[in-house]
Structure 1
Amino acid sequence: MLMEELPPEAMLDGPPPDADHLLQRTLGTVREERHQAVLRRGRITAITSTFMVAGVLAGGVWLGHGPLVGGTDDEGEVLQGTSSAGANMAVKVTETEGGLRLVATVHGVPDGAACWLVVHTKDGRSFTAGSWRAHAGEVTLAGSAMVRAGDVAGVSVVDHDRRPLVTAG
């Protein structure tokens, strides 16, 4: 009597013959969709990271240059000087919003000497704009000082005892 209540499909011996193929196709489709989703997320992450790094680098370059008072980087005064010992220096002085930007190229300073780049003002004050330890050959040093360009009387490289090694101005 219980057997009469069962539908005829229950009397079949096992699953249909193509059931395993259907399961394999379904699992394959799910795996492929998951793989595509992972690839999509990876591409989006890579593109986002690339744009973020580019933005940070562009911002760093922009902040590093800073706005100049009165124009471009090409503007600025170049001061030159030579010492009796044969050292020479050329300093490009550019006025910025907060003071001066200096780029000094120095040659002929004794090897191993502790050096300071010092800005001298017309009223007798001195401001250290940078320091380094000299080595054989030419040295290019960037520095800054909180002085107006119109107040600069000269720029010197001084040694540990504050004796001038070469002065430009």
Structure 2
Amino acid sequence: MLMEELPPEAALNGPPHNADHLLQRTLGTVREERHQAVRRRGRITAMTSTLMVAGVLAGGVWMGQGMGVSGTDDVDALLQGTSPTGAHMAVKVTDTEGGLRLVATVDGVQDGEACWLVVHTSDGRTFTAGSWRAHEGEVTLAGSAMVRAADVAGVSVVNHDRQPLVTAS
């Protein structure tokens, strides 16, 4: 009578013969789902970090370009000059917050000559804005000086003895 109350599965000796395979398959599925969740979180973290770094860099570039002011420079003066020896110079002078920026194109200076780019102000002061050793052909260089563009009377290229080679005004 006691045997009639038990289900037929209780009469089996031990677990079913494929029980280990079922357990292994279940554990494998659980491990795979956990591994996928960890990888998904890693991808989301990496993507978020990349977007944050890109945003910071873009903001730095934006701020470095004058906080959204148009990308074109407002050239305050374009100075040109030619020397009796045939040297030519053109200088773009642009006012900035800390002074001025110069972009000078010089041609015709003797090869190997030590040169300095010098800014002359209307009140007689001079500022060295850059230096280089001349070579054959045209040279374009950038420089800066702590003076307002409105105060610039001229820009010269001078040699080692501070003798002017070409002056633009």
Letter in 2 for 1:22: L
Using structure 1 for the length normalisation, give the TM-score: 0.76
Equivalent residue runs for 1:121-160 within 5 Å: 121-160=121-160
1:91 maps to amino acid: V
What is the CA–CA distance in structure 1 between the aligned matches of 2:95 and 2:123, rounded to whole Å?
Answer: 18
**SS of residue in 2 equivalent to 1:27:** helix
Structure 2 equivalent of residue 95 of structure 1: 95
1:127 CA displacement? 0.2
Distance 1:108 1:28, change over 3 A: farther
Residues 51 and 134 of structure 1, relative CA distance in 2, 3 Å threshold:
farther
Deviation at 1:58, TM superposition (A): 4.8
**In structure 2, do the counterparts of structure 1 residues 19 and 43 end up closer, same or farther at CA, with 3 Å as the change threshold?**
same
> Corresponding residue for 2:3?
none
Task: Please give the secondary structure, in 2, of the residue aligned with 1:127.
Answer: strand
Note the aligned Cα RMSD (angstroms): 2.7
Q: Helix, strand or coil for the counterpart of 2:161?
A: coil
Deviates more, 1:122-131 or 1:25-34: 25-34
Task: Extract unaligned runs of 5+ from structure 1.
Answer: 1-7
Q: How far apart in 1 are the matches of 2:46 and 2:131?
A: 43
Percent identical across equivalent pairs?
Answer: 55
Residue segments in structure 2 that go unaligned for 5+ positions in a row: 1-8
Matches for 1:16-31 after TM superposition, within 5 Å:
17-31=18-32
What is the rounded CA distance, in whole Å, between the counterparts of 1:119 and 1:56 in structure 2?
A: 34
**Alpha-carbon distance change, 84 to 46 in structure 1, aligned in 2, over 3 angstroms:** farther
Moved over 6 A (4+): none
Given residue 164 of structure 1, which amino acid in structure 2 is its aligned partner?
A: P
